Structure 1
Amino acid sequence: MTDILIILQARMSSSRLPGKVLKEILGKPMLEHQLQRLSHISTPHQLIVATSDNTSDNAIEALCRQLNVGCYRGDLDDVLTRYYHAAQSVNQDKKIKHIVRITGDCPLIDANIIDEVITHYINQQVDYCSNCAPPTLPDGLDVEIFSFTALKQAFEQAILPSEREHVTPFIRNNPQLFSTANYRYQTDLSHLRWTVDEPEDFDFVTQVYHNLYNKKMYFTMNDILLLLSKQPSLKNINNNYHRNEGLSRSLIEDKEQAHE
C-alpha cells in the first residue's frame, strides 16, 4: 500500500468559465483527459477527486463513477476542509503520509513533472514542496506535495479566506512551522499559460489536443513545446491573462476581513 495520495480538486461552479472541467475536447470531458494523463504517473500512489457537495457537482461524481475513480464531496468554498476530509476518507488505516495537490483546470498536466516534484520532495525531506514558488514551468503544470501532518495542522489552524480556499497558503505563510523546498526546471518557462480559467485558455488547450492527441495520446510537455515552436501563433490565443488571479482575489478578501 502506497503512502502517497493524489487529490485532484474540481468543481463546476467556476466564476470565469462555468462548467469548464466537463467541457469536451475531442469528445471527452476535460477532466477525463486530465485523469488519463495522471494515470501515467510512475510513483506508486492512490488518487481521489475532491469535489463539492453542491448539486452542480453531481456530474463530476457521475463521471468518477463511470471511470471507476474515487470521489469525495465536501465544502464548496472551504477547500482546505474538503482536502483534509478527502484525505481522511481514504486514510482509515493511517497509511497515507503525503498529499499531492492537483487542480482540475490543468488538462495538459505532465506526469513526468509530477514524478520529478515528488522525488525532489522526498529527497529534500521537507514538509512541503512545489514547482511554483517561484514557478519555472508553464502555468498549468503546477504540482504541490506536503505531509499529511502539515495538512492536518493547516486544517486546524488556518483562518484567512485565502488559506481556506487555496489549501496550502497557510503552510507557505508559516516557514517557522514548516520546512519547504521548490522544484526548479532548467529553463524558465513560467511565461507560458497552459491552465484553463478563461474561454481563450480552453481554446488554446483545444488547439493543442487537436494537433497532438490523435498522433500521440499521451503527449508530454516537450511535445507541446515543439508544437509551439512550429506554430508560435498558438501562444497568442490566451497570453493576455496573468498567473494566479484566483489567489489574488482571495488575498483581497483577507484584507477586507482584517478591516471588519
Structure 2
Amino acid sequence: MSTKLATRPVVCITQARINSYRLPAKVLRLIAGQPLLWWHLDRLKRARRVDRIVVATTGEPAADAIVEIAEAAGAAVFRGSEHDVLDRFAGAAALVGAATIVRVTSDCPVIDPALIDQAIALYESAGDACHYASLDVSTFPRGLDCEVFSRQALDEAAAEAVLREDREHVTPFIRRNTERYAARFLSTAPLERTYRWCVDTPADFELARRIVEQFAGADFGWTDIVALMRARPDWAALNMDVAQTPVA
C-alpha cells in the first residue's frame, strides 16, 4: 500500500483540446458571450480547497486559443501529447509541484465547486487509508465528475502504465490497482432519472447553454440544476438519448 507523502498543494488539472471527436472545438463555443472553457474555469475557481488550476492542453497550433482563455482566467498551462493524456497530466503536475491532483474535464461548464471541495476533504481526512477519491458517477448526474489522487500515484501510473486506455484516460491504472491505492467514493441518493450536463454533442451544448444562461454565473449548486430540470422537463429531455462515451 502506498503512503501519502503530502497533500498540499492541491492542484486541479483540467484537460482540454480542440479535436474532440463528437463536437470539435466545443470548449471554444460561446455561452452568454464567453467560451465554454471560461465558464468551466470560473466554476473551478470557486472551489475553496483548490490551491491552483492548470489547463493541460495539446501542442497543436489550434490549441493556442485554449491557452489564451486559460491564461486570461489566471490558470497555468501545460502543453503535451494529444493522446497520451496520462503523460500530459504528469507533466502538468510537475510544472506546478502538485502534491494532490484533482482531475476534471473541460467539457463540464456547470461542475460544482462544493462537490470538488467535498471530494478533496474525503481524500484528505482519510490519511493513508485513501489514495484515490471520486464522485460515485452512478448516483450523481454526469458533468460533475471529479477525481482526487496523490502525485505519487500519478507518477507511478505514468511510469508503469502501458495499456492504451490507461494512457488515454489517466486514472484506470490507479483505480484498477486497489491493493496499492485505497479508494473512497462520494455518493448521493439516486435521482428519479439520469441527468447529463457534460458537453459531447450539439444537444448537450444546447442544454448546457440554457443552464448557464439561466443562472448567469450566480453561485449555484448541482441541486439547483436538478430543481431546474424538474421544473423544465423539456430541457432535461434535450439530450436524454445521448450515450456517455465509454471509459475503461
TM-score (norm 2): 0.92
Unaligned runs of 5+ in 2: 1-6
Superposed displacement of residue 242, structure 1: 2.2
- Per the alignment, residue 112 of structure 1 pairs with 114
Look up the match of 2:66: 60
* Aligned 8 A contact 1:50 1:82 in 2: yes
Name the CA distance, whole Å, in 2 between partners of 1:97 and 1:23: 33
What do the CA deviations read for 1:220-252 (whole angstroms, capped 9, x no partner)?
A: 212211211211111110010223x152xxx5x
| Aligned counterpart, 1:159 | 162
Match of 2:93 in 1: 87
Distance 2:192 2:71 in 1: 36
Identity level (%): 35
What secondary structure, in the 3-state scheme, does the structure 1 residue paired with 2:83 have?
coil
Which runs of no fewer than 5 residues in structure 1 stay unpaired?
252-260
Is contact 2:108-2:199 (8 Å) kept? Answer: yes
- Secondary structure of the residue aligned to 1:197 is coil
Deviation, structure 1 residue 190: 7.3
Aligned AA for 1:112?
A
Q: Deviations over 1:139-184 (max 9, x none)?
A: 0000100000000110001111110001000001111221111111
Query: What do the CA deviations read for 1:18-75 (whole angstroms, capped 9, x no partner)?
Result: 0000100010000001111111111141111110111221110111222232111001
Letter in structure 1 aligned against 2:225 = I
CA distance in 2, matches of 1:66, 1:149: 30
Match of 2:52 in 1: 46
Alignment match, 1:219: 220
**What residue is the counterpart of 2:202 in the other structure?**
199
Residue number in structure 2 paired with 1:25: 31
Aligned residue for 2:49, secondary structure, equals coil
Query: Match of 1:143?
Result: 146
| Aligned equivalents of 1:218, 1:56: Cα separation in 2 | 32
Aligned to 2:133: 129
**Equivalent residue of 1:217, what SS?**
coil
Residues of 2 paired with 1:189 and 1:70: CA distance? 39
Once residues 119 and 75 of structure 1 are traced to their aligned partners in structure 2, the CA distance between those partners, rounded to angstroms, is 31
RMSD: 1.7
**1:254 alignment counterpart:** none
**C-alpha distance in structure 1 between counterparts of 2:192 and 2:154, whole Å:** 29
Closer, same or farther in 2 for the Cα pair 1:190/1:171, shift >3 Å?
Answer: farther
For residue 11 of structure 1, the aligned residue among 8, 13, 17 is 17
Partner of 2:40: 34
Aligned residues: 240
Conserved in 1, the CA contact under 8 Å of 2:8 and 2:100? no
Greater RCO, CA 8 A, separation 6+: 2
Residue 210 of structure 1: aligned partner: 213
